[in-house]
Structure 1
Amino acid sequence: MKLLFFDLETTGTQADKHGIHQLSGSIVIDGEVKEDFNLHVQPHPGAIIEQAALDVAGVTQEQIMAYPPMREVYDRFINMLSKYVDRYNHSDKFFLVGYNNATFDNQFLRAWFGHNGDKYFGSWFWANSIDVMVMATPYLADRRSQMVNFKQGTVAKALGIAVEDDQLHDALYDIRICKAIYDKVCAKY
């Protein structure tokens, strides 16, 4: 089984208007971590940049505009994926894995492919993804009413996973927390 754990930091909340400035993750094949990545990227030309989104990630507009150009980072990302998946083999793909990725990150990643002129997103990834937030729900259902929210940091703490609050919203740190939640929840089943 090929899993691509990933998390994004973006310039806003709408994939059709905003862009990606950080893409981090881990490639896990049959339970073994093959490669971690942490890519900083200039948002696509024309992306709206919301100051509130940058504040959440702790970056400035000057910082993200100094990141490597989108196409350069995209090519690096595709070269990395190519080491593990044959995009021409219809039965060889990654499952996208993230925290609340089905409603957010997946759409941004797909849009990023489009901004790079690639309409073959489905050659790399299965259409059905693994959302760790959804997986954690039955695990914590009996405690949910006592939890202040169901954000990733809160869920991790409820599962006994150590969290450094000041590190949250860095994509690389967030994906490590996501993977820890995934491992804990999957161990139950």
Structure 2
Amino acid sequence: MADNYKFSQDYELIPPQKQRSYPISTTEWNLIKKRINNIKDDANLWQTVGSILVGTAVPTLITALIGDFKNDKSTWICWTAFWVTAIPGGLAFYFGSQQRKTQNETKEDVLDFMNIIEERFASSLQGLVILSAKYGIEDKFADVTILLNSLITEDKLTILANNQNLGSDPYPGKVKQLIVDYALNGKRETSTITEGATLFIG
């Protein structure tokens, strides 16, 4: 079928890179899906309610402090309105932060389970395999796992960590890091270098 193609110049057809996969049981896969499905972002609801209540409490407080009321009843109503909105607003923010912690713990639980699966197969891997690699800083990272795997030569990897070699600048103006989780002859390791440094594995 390749004989049907005609080119004006000679081209070398490059075969796709071989990829590795983790075979896992359907029970484990369904468990991962169930745990991810249970992660719900309820914290935003609490924070929205808190913002509304606190937003109402602030002008009420200002009015209570500088308002020129003609009788004590008006002053009492103003202060009552402040406390009725401020206290529930503060509690809403607190519940939101606690909910966020719970969600982060749930996500970590799922990631830990996925790491267990990786560990199970890492011991059987020969040579050098990049399990995960990310380039960036803070919460802005680019996934460069496939890229680094394609650069492995004779179970060795050498790369200068910069925007050009890693394909993008996930956080312009910031000094980034390259974090690589890999298995070398069945032993799992993690290497972290700063932008501008050279990574040597193998």
Scaled to the shorter chain, the TM-score interval is under 0.3
Query: Highest Rg: 1 or 2?
Result: 2
TM-score scaled by structure 1?
0.21
Structure ranking higher in helix proportion: 2
Q: TM-score, normalised by structure 2?
A: 0.20
Say which structure, 1 or 2, has more relative contact order (CA 8 Å, 6+ apart).
1
